[in-house]
Structure 1
Amino acid sequence: MRRLTTFFLSVSTALIAVPASANDLDWLAGHWCGQSGKTFSEETWMAPRGGLLVGMHRDTRDGRATGFEFMRIAAQDGRWVFLAQPGGKAATAFPAERVEKDRAVFANPAHDFPKRVIYSRPDVDTLHARIDDGRDDGQAMEWTWRRDCVAPPSS
């Protein structure tokens, strides 16, 4: 039984450890934005360089900032890790579970919420982001942004 447990732990770790390659996340780079109700959101990601992407997010409503987040995706120990700092708080790490062409899934099952952060690009001018409780049918928040949009005057 002990050998079987060790085997499954080894396989699980191998499946979770997604190796970082230089051009894996090029598709995320850019200025992305959109409106949901009265809230205008924008997210900007620098292109990967030196094993690091740097990002920031800002929400505005009625001409006032309502939220911000500093983010980075760093190659750590040979794999991608998403580090989120909502409101500038201490960083929470979400190691890459999957990195595919135009899609990346980062997960931290020990975190309260979110447990998973997912970015996908359905086409070259659209970025979709989702945070959730680790389940496809569970609690989630989602955003869809367009590339290089312009904020409306009241944002």
Structure 2
Amino acid sequence: MVLLVSLWLGDLSSLEGCWQWRNGTLTGTECWVAMNDYSMMGFSYTTKDGQRREHEFLMIERQEGPPIYVAMPSNQERTEFRLTSQDHDTFVFENPDHDFPKRIVYRFLSNDELEVRVEGDPGSRVLTFSMNRISCIRSCH
């Protein structure tokens, strides 16, 4: 457990910046900024044909114990996911009591490529987003 707490921001700092995936006319953008040694703030949104459809406020924070990934989707309650495992390029956050998702996995493929997997119960749907780093100037506002 000490390893999870002590290494988390150093390794996760690669997340800082803006990321984007595309699927036809649907585009998802996620932006992150480190606030201090213990927290990162994020914002994500989805557009279709250039019109914003959904948004989500995000945060990764550590107070005591393992880091917490916080998601606050459009018009929904705050949901927390605990960091349950990590290595140099993969971070797994889980909340087994949540309906969907139960698990969020961030995996760095390179400095500019990121795969995000959103998973439900074993054997149920899995959403995979292949994201590329983009310029933040006009991306997350």
Q: After TM superposition, is the score higher than 0.5? A: yes
Say if 1:32 and 1:145, in contact at 8 Å, map to a contact too: yes
Tell which deviates more after alignment, 19-28 or 121-130: 19-28
**Residue deviations 1:37-90, cap 9 Å, x none?**
211111001136230011110111112111111000101313211001111532
User: Normalized per residue, which structure has more strand?
Assistant: 2
Counterpart in the other structure of 1:112: 99
Equivalent of residue 31 in structure 1, options 18, 33, 36: 18
Question: TM-score if structure 1 supplies the norm length?
Answer: 0.78
Alpha-carbon separation, structure 2, partners of 1:134 and 1:118: 14
State the superposition RMSD in angstroms. 2.2
> Is the counterpart of residue 141 in structure 1 residue 127 in structure 2?
yes
**In 2, distance between residues paired with 1:20 and 1:27?**
16
Unaligned runs of 5+ in 1: 1-13, 151-155
- Which residue of structure 2 lines up, in the alignment, with residue 153 of structure 1? none
Q: Distance in 2 between matches of 1:124 and 1:103?
A: 13
User: Which is worse superposed, 123-132 or 88-97?
Assistant: 88-97
> Which residue, 105, 116, 130 being the options, matches 1:129?
116
- Which consecutive residues of structure 2, in runs of 5 or more, have no partner in the other structure? 137-141
Q: 1:85 to 1:20 in 2, by over 3 A?
A: farther
> How far apart are residue 123 of structure 1 and its match?
0.8
Residue in 2 aligned with 1:89? Answer: 76
- CA distance in 2 between partners of 1:88 and 1:72 (Å): 16
